[in-house]
Amino acid sequence: MLFHDTALIFGRYARQTLRSRFALLFGVLTPLLYLLFFGPLLTGLPLGSQGSSWQVLVPGLLLQLGLFGASFAGFTIIIEQNSGVLERMRVTPVSRLALLLGRVLRDTVLFVFQAALLVLAAVIMGLRAPLAGILTGFVFVALLTMSLASLSYALGMKVRTPQEFGPTVNAVTMPAMLLSGLMLPMTLAPGWLDILSRLMPFRYLVDAVRDAYVGSYATAHMLYGVLVAVGLTAVAVIVGTRVFRTAGA
């Protein structure tokens, strides 16, 4: 039943996204701009990596895509809450978990698609990385999207108005991006910044993907990255489901 319900919800939202070119491409714009106009500035710099500057930057941009894209997923929930769509679905027997997973699955597929577009552009700009590393990167984008989208939907259900939602999410995602070393690796950071960044879960994700992009898969970074990604996803999905079950207060 859960599988059937999730597929149904996923289908509905996938069709909705496919109808809108804006929705299909919106999230990839910012990382693309960074790739095209910021990336070339890094090619000569010593970034403390075995690979090229592209192998340092692109993992960060992929996670930036997931971070900003998925964090704002809750906007659509607020609109649906206010228009009555969400309530209508909650009155049917459809599984509460499916209501969340179907949406999150759509977001995951969308951002992995956009991540692929980004990598394609990066390859044109000069990125060379092993295929397994690139695929690993997509897996991390998927896990990050699943967790942040779930949390974003949970927040959207609690907050109710777009005016409260936007600034709240912004206030969290921008510092998160900077403190996680997404643009430039934290190995370049002074001691205090490095320590601060270790509190950010995304730091471990980007370190793992950077390792994958130079072909090192069996490293400590990869281990921590996987643990954090899976843990974050589990917590987020649990929180999200609970909110969907009890929403309406």
Dihedral through CA 131, CA 232, CA 33, CA 129, nearest 10?
Answer: -20
Burial class (CB in 10 A: 0-12, 13-18, 19+), 130: middle
DSSP state of 87: H
Residue 37 DSSP class: I
- Of the pair 80, 194, the CB lying nearest other proteins is at 80
- By CB under 8 A, name the one of 25, 40, 90, 164 that touches other proteins: 90
Cα(216)–Cα(150) distance, rounded to whole angstroms? 30
Helices (H), ranges, 72-159:
74-83, 85-91, 96-125, 131-159
Give me the least distance between CB of 2 and other proteins, in Å please: 12
Token pair belonging to 243? 């909110």
Amino acid at 112: V
Determine if 83 is a binding residue for other proteins (CB under 8 A).
yes
Which stretch, 11-19, 116-124, 188-196, 200-208, contacts other proteins (CB under 8 A)? Answer: 11-19
Q: Does 91 bind other proteins (CB under 8 A)?
A: yes
Q: Is residue 8 near other proteins by the rule CB under 8 A?
A: yes
CA distance 206 to 56: 9
Q: How many residues bind other proteins (CB under 8 A)?
A: 26
Q: How far is the CB of 84 from other proteins (least distance, A)?
A: 3
Q: Does 22 bind other proteins (CB under 8 A)?
A: no
Site string for other proteins, 228-247 (x = CB under 8 A): ------------------x-
Within 143-202, the residues that bind other proteins by CB under 8 A are none
Cα end-to-end distance, the chain, whole Å: 27
Q: Report whether 99 contacts 9 (CB < 8 A).
A: yes
Cβ-based neighbours of 104, under 8 Å, separated by 6 or more: 73, 145, 146, 149, 150, 153, 237, 240
Nearer to other proteins, 157 or 176 (CB): 157
Site track for other proteins across 93-132, x = CB under 8 A? xx--------------------------------------
CB of 83 to other proteins, least distance (A): 5
| 4 versus 128: smaller Cβ distance to other proteins | 4
Residues in the chain, total: 249
**Interaction between residue 16 and other proteins (CB under 8 A):** yes
Contact set with other proteins (CB under 8 A): 1, 4-5, 8, 12, 15-16, 19-20, 80, 82-94, 246, 248-249
